[in-house]
């Protein structure tokens, strides 16, 4: 992004900045496996030590909007990051984790649920940026099921 | 917003849809009182029963970016709403509340904090839409202080 200024504390997560598009697949014991397309944006609209994160997925076949979420990825000290995410399903996740050489590993510290939200207990998020490719895996313990793989996707940088 | 389709369950909160700008002031025992300018957007990008909420404030005198937050306001049944908010300070709020005649009253059901976040315990948010004017009050219990008024602002619809 020419001309964009990044807070110096963002150096380790700066490779995430951009718009990413690709596809993924989801599985969980309570649902049928599904495939989706996805757009992810990490942006740095102000000179502060966080990135704004937005995400949306669509059903791979029908194009129907599926999930969306938004929040912030912040750096707290070298090698350490925190993630705060809001979801329209009534779920908020806060994570703490590590960043090293383009790899980010996050574990939920707390998950807050509205009265009507489905019960989500644990979420781990693993992201790897390799040049213009972003891969992630999301593991989840929810709805009485053991913590396990829920989503994996591969996206490419589009700007 | 000409041509925009709203999910029918959004009727009670539809008056919020738009971009709002104005000013407010903040007080709390732990800080000096301050004044800020603010932009709030409630948008309905997909035909689902929630609005996407984004907010940013700037210092009234210096224009320096202050707070920002983002999340979702969802309708769960007639007269009842839920709010999920992420903040780059490491705080996530989930609220439940009521909507009636343009007035929305929300109380935090849970607040999730990252390891480095300041301790926020309770937040109440009260919004009133009166035509093209949006007023809100935010009360907060945090940092060992009693739950009390923290922010109040008045914004005008700009599109």
Tens digit of pLDDT for each residue in A120-134?
A: 999 999 999 999 999
B4 pLDDT above the threshold of 80: no
Task: Please classify residue B2 by burial: count the beta carbons closer than 10 Å to its beta carbon, then call 0-12 exposed, 13-18 middle and 19+ buried.
Answer: exposed
| Measured distance CA(B132)–CA(A70) in Å, rounded | 27
Structure tokens at A123: 């979420």
Give A74's contacts in chain B (Cβ within 8 Å): 88, 90, 114
Overall average pLDDT of the A95-119 stretch: 97
B145 pLDDT above the threshold of 80: yes
Residues 6+ apart with CB under 8 A from B59: B34, B35, B36, B66
pLDDT tens for B23-62 read: 999 999 999 999 999 999 999 999 999 999 999 999 999 9
Structure tokens at B90: 């490491």
Query: How many CB atoms neighbour CB A30 within 10 A?
Result: 9
For chain A positions 71-110, those within 8 Å of chain B (CB to CB) are 71-72, 74, 76, 82-88, 90-96, 109-110
| Measured distance CA(A83)–CA(A40) in Å, rounded | 15
Mean pLDDT of chain A: 96
Give A47's contacts in chain B (Cβ within 8 Å): 65
A95 pLDDT above the threshold of 70: yes
User: In this structure, are residues A125 and A98 in contact, taking their beta carbons and an 8 Å threshold?
Assistant: no
| Measured distance CA(A73)–CA(B72) in Å, rounded | 18
Report pLDDT for B5.
Answer: 79
DSSP label of A4: -
| Measured distance CA(B131)–CA(B102) in Å, rounded | 9
User: In this structure, are residues B131 and B154 in contact, taking their beta carbons and an 8 Å threshold?
Assistant: no
Give A112's contacts in chain B (Cβ within 8 Å): 84, 92-94, 109-112
pLDDT tens for B68-125 read: 999 999 999 999 999 999 999 999 999 999 999 999 999 999 999 999 999 999 999 9
Confidence tier at A159 by pLDDT (50, 70, 90): confident
Pick the CATH number of A8-157 from 2.40.128.20, 3.30.70.1230, 3.30.300.30, 3.40.50.261: 2.40.128.20
Kindly give the pairing relationship between strand B18-28 and strand B103-113. unpaired
B108 membership: H or E segment, kind and range: strand B103-113
pLDDT tens for A56-88 read: 999 999 999 999 999 999 999 999 999 999 999
Dihedral angle over CA of A82, A109, B137, B101, nearest 10: 120
- Interchain CB distance below 8 Å, B84 and A111: no
Report pLDDT for A4.
Answer: 66
A2 pLDDT above the threshold of 70: no
Report pLDDT for B3.
Answer: 53
Q: Which of B56, B85, B96 sits opposite A115 (nearest CB)?
A: B96
Report pLDDT for B146.
Answer: 98
């Amino acid at each position: 992004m020419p001309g964009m200024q990044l807070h110096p504390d963002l150096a380790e997560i700066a490779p995430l900045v951009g718009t990413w598009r690709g596809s993924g697949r989801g599985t969980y014991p309570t649902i049928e496996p599904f495939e989706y397309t996805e757009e992810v944006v990490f942006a740095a609209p102000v000179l502060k030590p966080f990135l704004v994160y937005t995400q949306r997925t669509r059903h791979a076949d029908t194009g129907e909007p599926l999930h969306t979420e938004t929040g912030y990825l912040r750096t707290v000290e070298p090698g350490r990051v925190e993630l705060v995410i809001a979801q329209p399903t009534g779920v908020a996740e806060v994570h703490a984790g590590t960043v090293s050489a383009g790899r980010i590993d996050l574990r939920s510290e707390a998950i807050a649920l509205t009265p009507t939200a489905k019960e989500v207990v644990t979420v781990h998020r693993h992201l790897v940026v390799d040049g213009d490719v972003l891969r992630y895996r999301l593991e989840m313990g929810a709805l009485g099921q053991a913590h396990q793989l829920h989503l994996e996707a591969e996206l490419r940088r589009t700007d």
